[in-house]
Amino acid sequence: LSRLADDASLDVLRLLSYRTLGAGWYEREDFAAAESTWRSGLEAFPEDWEMQNNLAYCVGVELGRAEDAIPLARRAVELAPNQSQAWDTRAKLQILLGQYDDAEVSRDEGSKYMQNAAARINITLNRARIALAREECDVARSLLTQARTSTDTLPQLRDRFETDIDDLSAQIEEGC
């Protein structure tokens, strides 16, 4: 038992448990439970960028506390500066807070590390949100079309981004 207690691989299991449990709550849209789980996970694993990032998104976007989430997003970027998801979360929170210049910097930095189509779509949607906020309607529409086209050509991503695209489309129609 002593060897098991000292086995560092158990920490990996604990870390994955916190991540997975939080993600499960998030998928069930129990954002308060997801927040609580990821906060507990970060007490045990404060250097885990993924939980920092997930918590930042959950608190800022889903629970509407963007100001509270910014320090979490900053920490995620500090821990994993080469992860586009961390930069993307930070950009989205900055957009929610009206920090458009900062959001552009975050978006540009994140775009250097895009590793897949989902990351490209996220960055494109954030570019469209910034353009809309700056009343650059033609640019916002063009970027939205790019994102929509990407999901049309990659049907496995359609469900993941459909709500974001529909919401942004409505915002563009209303604001332009």
Average pLDDT, the chain: 90
CA–CA distance, 100 with 107 (Å, rounded to integer) = 10
Predicted confidence at residue 159, as pLDDT, reads: 86
Q: CA torsion angle for 80, 62, 66, 90 (degrees, to 10)?
A: 30
Residue 45's nearest CA partner among 67, 23, 75 is: 75
Q: What digits encode the pLDDT tens for the residues 70-129?
A: 999 999 999 999 998 999 999 999 999 999 999 999 988 988 887 788 888 988 998 899
Nearest to 161 by CA among 170, 152, 172: 152
Number of Cβ atoms within 10 Å of the Cβ of 144:
22
Question: What is the tens place of the pLDDT at every residue in 131-156?
Answer: 999 899 999 999 999 999 989 888 78
- Identify the pLDDT of residue 9: 63
**Structure tokens, 131:** 């353009």
Predicted local confidence at residue 14, as pLDDT: 82
Measuring CA to CA, how many Å separate 161 from each of 24, 106, 113? 19, 20, 20
